Structure 1
Amino acid sequence: MRMLLNIRIPHEPFNTMVREGTVGPVIGKILEEIKPEAVYFTEQDGARGAVLVVDIDNASSIPALAEPWFLKFNADCEIRIAMLPQDLKEAGLENLGSKWK
């Protein structure tokens, strides 16, 4: 199941890790472990952030995605299901529409 992992990273401890030169290896290790399909680093609400596209087999994989960000950066994580156009096409919207008139 494809998911979007939205991460908001507070200034600390990230700033300290940047000053110490340790942030790159930490992020690298997390990404190596998670193996996202795509990673986008961005600003979120005036702070650092990232959006990762990940594919998981079941919900029990979710803690392994979020915990590194919680533990290393005190980050906030939101996880959302993401559908491709084909997924939406196969959802049966036309049947749902008639069912819920």
Structure 2
Amino acid sequence: MRLMMEVVIPVEKGNAAVSDGSLQKAFEDFEKEAKPEAAYFFVREGKRAALFIFEAKHQGELVRLNEPFFIALHAEVRVTPVLVAEELQGNLQVKA
């Protein structure tokens, strides 16, 4: 299943993580593990944020992928299943 993960990092913890290298390590570790098809980095409500699109075969994988962000960065993590246009079109059924 294709998932979208948004990670929002508190400012103080993010500042410390940039200084000690743990922010970059957390993102690099995630990218090695999840192999996202897309990764975007931006500011959300004045906080550092990232958005990843990746595939997961089992929901249990999320524990392994989320926990480093919680532990190392005190991040808020939101995960949402997503579809590409072809998947949406292939599954839409209009009933008259």
* TM-score normalised over the length of structure 1: 0.83
- Deviation of residue 22 (structure 1)? 4.1
Equivalent in the alignment of 2:30 = 30
Runs of at least 4 residues of structure 1 off by over 4 A? none
Equivalent in the alignment of 2:8 = 8
Give aligned-pair identity as a percent: 25
* 1:28 counterpart letter in structure 2: E
* Structure 1: unaligned runs, 5 residues or longer: none
What's the RMSD between the two structures over aligned residues?
1.6
May I ask how many residue pairs the two structures share in their alignment? 96
Q: In the TM superposition, what whole-angstrom CA distance separates every residue of 1:53-96 from its partner, at most 9, and x where no partner exists?
A: 010112121212211111110000111111111111121321xx
Higher Rg of the two aligned structures? 1
Asked whether the equivalents of residues 34 and 64 of structure 1 are also in contact (C-alpha less than 8 Å), the reply is no
Q: Give the 5 Å matches for 1:36-75.
A: 36-75=36-75
* 1:64 counterpart letter in structure 2: R
Q: Does 1:76 align with 2:47?
A: no
* TM-score normalised over the length of structure 2: 0.86
* 1:52 counterpart letter in structure 2: F
